[in-house]
Amino acid sequence: MTDSNVQAPSLAKLLTHHSEKWRGFDRDVLPLPVAEMDFPVADSIRAVLAEMVAQSDLGYLGSVPELAAGFAKFAAERWNWSVDTSQVGVAADVGVGVVEVLRVFTKPGDTILINSPVYQNFYNWIDETHLTKVDVPFTRTGPQSDSDNPWQLDLDEVEKAYAAGLKVHLMCSPHNPLGRVFSKDELTRIAEMAKKYGVLVISDEIHAPLTFAEKRFIPFLTISESAREVGITITAASKGWNIAGLKCAIIVSQNDAINTKLDEMPRAVHFRASILGAFASAAAFAEGGVWLDSVIKQLDHNRFLIRDLLTTKLPSVKYHIPHNSYLAWLDLESLNLGENPTQTLLEKGRVAFNPGHSYGAQCSQYVRLNFATSPEIITEAIDRIVRTL
């Protein structure tokens, strides 16, 4: 395998992995939850890690200008976003970044908006910071085609939430699990409303590098001066380049007042990140483009493979083509798998997915399927659903 032809290894090989995805279940269960990929990592990442281990260069993380420089290069090339490297901070992961930012910008009891169904740890981060959750959920009301995502966000409802004294809007952009990329119009309106009502927008952009060609991912901070006055982006190379275990994320702001406030974060937020993660992330952003494009090509194949398999084998299951990343959001209601389809599929089908209810209580009949794996494993997963019926 090379960086330009990335492929997942065999199931037998994957079963030797040490991560939660591969250790969280009995050996006969085919695991497709947990957002990590089954693909081998990029050569540039492998090289930097091998060299640092060979040199026993495994101390605490100090200054790492390579990371901000790598991110700025990637952001300029892929998104036409000019990032000032002095405005890029480091945290151990996106979760820690969000929680630490919330700690300096809010006090317990302040309100925070999410849009369910959404990445399950958003709920945990809100609990951890003792904030009060407000939800304006997405609804499945829009048109659906390969280029249209059926999940819509009612921005008038979002405005009502802002007007009621909201403190923070935690956005998932692009969206997990809906595979939805926000449009320029949507982001522009959110930035304008946030400025009008004094809302801080935290934009979790961890899935952005994995956006498919038919959509353009737009970083929130590129939208307008208003966006830069109200916004903080938290992101990482960990999702795009499959290095979540290395523990490194970045916090980006492009506004002096926000930066001054961010300076109140403890210095430990930086050095609690891992030195391996920081240098691997720098290599990913700076040199990981060929690998990333190869992975996107495989994921592109896989998202349509799921459509084709469902059309043939499970035509009543609802699925829309995601515009980013590797998460399929399947509505299994028609299969009558009981109150908790994930549990039924695990027990009877020996196939594991993430349960829809953890993304939003209204989505209990959904499962999230991670398709960052081989076509063979995806096919076997769909077959196991069929065999459960």
Ligand X SMILES: Cc1ncc(COP(=O)(O)O)c(C=O)c1O
CA quadruple 57, 60, 65, 68: dihedral positive or negative? positive
Instruction: Please state the closest distance from residue 354 (CB atom) to ligand X, in A.
Output: 10
Closer residue to ligand X (CB): 238 or 302: 238
Closer residue to ligand X (CB): 237 or 317: 237
Closer residue to ligand X (CB): 282 or 314: 282
Could you tell me the CA-to-CA distances from 273 to 81, 89, 165 in Å, in that order?
A: 25, 11, 34
Instruction: Please state the closest distance from residue 320 (CB atom) to ligand X, in A.
Output: 18
Query: Of 219, 262, 289, 265, nearest to 74 (Cα)?
Result: 289
- How far apart are alpha carbons 227 and 255 in whole angstroms? 10
Closer residue to ligand X (CB): 35 or 385: 35
Instruction: Please state the closest distance from residue 260 (CB atom) to ligand X, in A.
Output: 25
Scan residues 132-171 and list those touching ligand X (CB under 6 A): none
| Binding string, residues 84-123; x marks residues near ligand X by CB under 6 A | ---------xxx-----------------------x----
Q: Which helix (H) or strand (E) holds 22?
A: helix 20-23
Residue that the structure tokens 């050095």 belong to: 271
Phi, psi of 158 (to 5 degrees): -60, -40
Instruction: Please state the closest distance from residue 197 (CB atom) to ligand X, in A.
Output: 24
- For 21, counting Cβ atoms within 10 Å of its Cβ (0-12 exposed, 13-18 middle, 19+ buried), the class is buried
Q: Which helix (H) or strand (E) holds 331?
A: strand 327-331
Closer residue to ligand X (CB): 129 or 344: 129
| Binding string, residues 170-209; x marks residues near ligand X by CB under 6 A | --x---x---------------------------x-xx--
Going by the DSSP 8-state scheme, the letter that residue 19 receives in this structure is S
Scan residues 312-331 and list those touching ligand X (CB under 6 A): none
Residue from the set 88, 187, 236, 363 that interacts with ligand X by CB under 6 A: 236
Closer residue to ligand X (CB): 227 or 244: 244
Residues 6+ apart with CB under 8 A from 220: 171, 173, 187, 190, 191, 201, 203, 205, 227, 231, 233
Question: Could you check whether the bond before residue 315 is cis, i.e. omega within 30 degrees of 0?
Answer: no
Instruction: Please state the closest distance from residue 123 (CB atom) to ligand X, in A.
Output: 12
Residue that the structure tokens 């028609």 belong to: 334
238 near ligand X, rule: CB under 6 A: yes
Instruction: Please state the closest distance from residue 100 (CB atom) to ligand X, in A.
Output: 12
Query: Of 151, 192, 156, nearest to 172 (Cα)?
Result: 151
| Binding string, residues 16-55; x marks residues near ligand X by CB under 6 A | -------------------x--------------------
DSSP helix/strand/coil, 130: coil
Closer residue to ligand X (CB): 68 or 90: 90
Closer residue to ligand X (CB): 142 or 245: 245
DSSP helix/strand/coil, 47: helix
Scan residues 244-273 and list those touching ligand X (CB under 6 A): 244, 249
Instruction: Please state the closest distance from residue 328 (CB atom) to ligand X, in A.
Output: 14
What does the binding site for ligand X look like in residue numbers (CB under 6 A)? 35, 93-95, 119, 172, 176, 204, 206-207, 236, 238-239, 244, 249
